Structure 1
Amino acid sequence: MRLDPLLRIAPSLWSDVTTQLHHRTEGRHEAGAFLLGRKDQASRTAVSAVYYDALDPDAYMSGVCILHAEAFGRLWDRCSELGLSVVADVHVHPGRAGQSRSDRENPMIARAGHLALILPRMARPPIRRWSIGLYEYLGDHRWRALGGCGVARFLKIEEH
Structure 2
Amino acid sequence: MAEGSLNFPRSLWFDCMGQLHRRGRERHESGCFVLGTIDGPRRRAMRCVYYDELDPRAYESGVCVLHGGAFSKLWEICRADGLSVVADIHTHGGEAFQSTADRRNPMIARPGHIAVIVPNFARSPVWRHHLGLYRYDGDHRWTDLSGWRARAFVKVPWSFR
| Range into which the TM-score falls when normalised by the shorter chain | over 0.9
Q: Counterpart of 1:73?
A: 72
Structure 2: runs of 5+ lacking an equivalent: none
Letter in 2 for 1:39: I
Q: What is the correspondence of 1:1-160 to structure 2 with a 5 Å cutoff? A: 2-158=1-157, 159-160=159-160
Moved more, 145-154 or 51-60: 145-154
Letter in 1 for 2:94: G
Letter in 2 for 1:25: G
Moved more, 150-159 or 92-101: 150-159
Q: Which runs of 4+ in 1 moved over 3 A?
A: none
Aligned residues: 159
Structure 1: runs of 5+ lacking an equivalent: none
Percentage identity across paired residues of the two chains: 52
Distance 1:35 1:131 in 2: 19
Displacement after TM superposition at 1:118 (Å): 0.4
Letter in 1 for 2:20: L
Distance 1:75 1:60 in 2: 17
Distance 2:136 2:99 in 1: 14
Distance 2:86 2:131 in 1: 17
Measured against aligned partners, the alpha-carbon deviations of 1:35-94 in whole angstroms (never above 9, x if no partner) come to: 000001130100100000000000000000000141000000001111101000000000
